[in-house]
Amino acid sequence: MASEILSAEGLRCDGRRPQEMRKLKCELGISEGADGSALVEQGYTKVLVSVFGPHECANRNTRNHERAIISCSYNLASFGSAIRKKKMNTDKKSTEVGVMIQNTFEAAVMLEKFPKSQIDIYVQVLQGDGGERCVAINATTLALINAGIPMKDYVCACAATVYQDSVLLDINNLEESSRGPLFMLAVMPHTDSIVQLQLDHRLHNDHLDKVVKETIQGCRDIQVLLDRQVKEWTVEAGSRT
Partner 1 sequence: MTTRLSNAEIQYIVDGVEQDFRSDGRGAEDYRQIELETRILPNTNGSARCKLGKTEVLVGVKAEVVDVDVHAPHIGKLVITADCSAVASPKFVGKGSEVLENDLSNVLSFLYNSTNTISLNDLCIVKGESCWQLHVDVLFVQCGGNLFDVASIALKAALYNTTLPIVKVSGEGIEMEMEVSDDPYHVWKLDVSNCPICITLYQIGGGFAVDPSEEEVACSEGFVHIGVQPNGDMSSMEKAGAGNIDPTTLLEMVEVGVRVGEEIHKQLNKQLDAEKSLAKL
Cβ atoms of residues 48 and 37 within 8 Å = yes
Report the nearest approach of partner 1 to the CB of residue 119 (Å).
11
- DSSP H helix total and E strand total for the chain: 5, 9
Three-class DSSP category at 34:
coil
Cα 121 to chain centroid, rounded: 12
Is the CB of 61 or the CB of 90 nearer to partner 1? 90
Report the nearest approach of partner 1 to the CB of residue 2 (Å).
21
Is the CB of 8 or the CB of 82 nearer to partner 1? 82
Report the nearest approach of partner 1 to the CB of residue 238 (Å).
23
Q: For 18, how many CA atoms within 13 A lie in the half-sphere containing its CB? A: 17
Alpha-carbon separation of residue 18 from 139, 169, 172 (angstroms) = 24, 6, 12
Report the nearest approach of partner 1 to the CB of residue 118 (Å).
10
Residue 24 one-letter amino acid: L
Report the nearest approach of partner 1 to the CB of residue 133 (Å).
17
The torsion of the CA quartet 19, 20, 25, 29, rounded to 10 degrees, works out to 10
Is the CB of 49 or the CB of 226 nearer to partner 1? 49
Residues engaged in binding partner 1 (CB under 8 A): 31-34, 37, 44, 46, 48-50, 52, 58, 73, 75, 77-84, 87, 89-90, 120, 122-124, 126-129
Is the CB of 56 or the CB of 192 nearer to partner 1? 56
Is the CB of 135 or the CB of 188 nearer to partner 1? 135
Give exposure, 180-189, as e/b (b: 16+ Cβ within 10 Å): bbbbbbbbbb
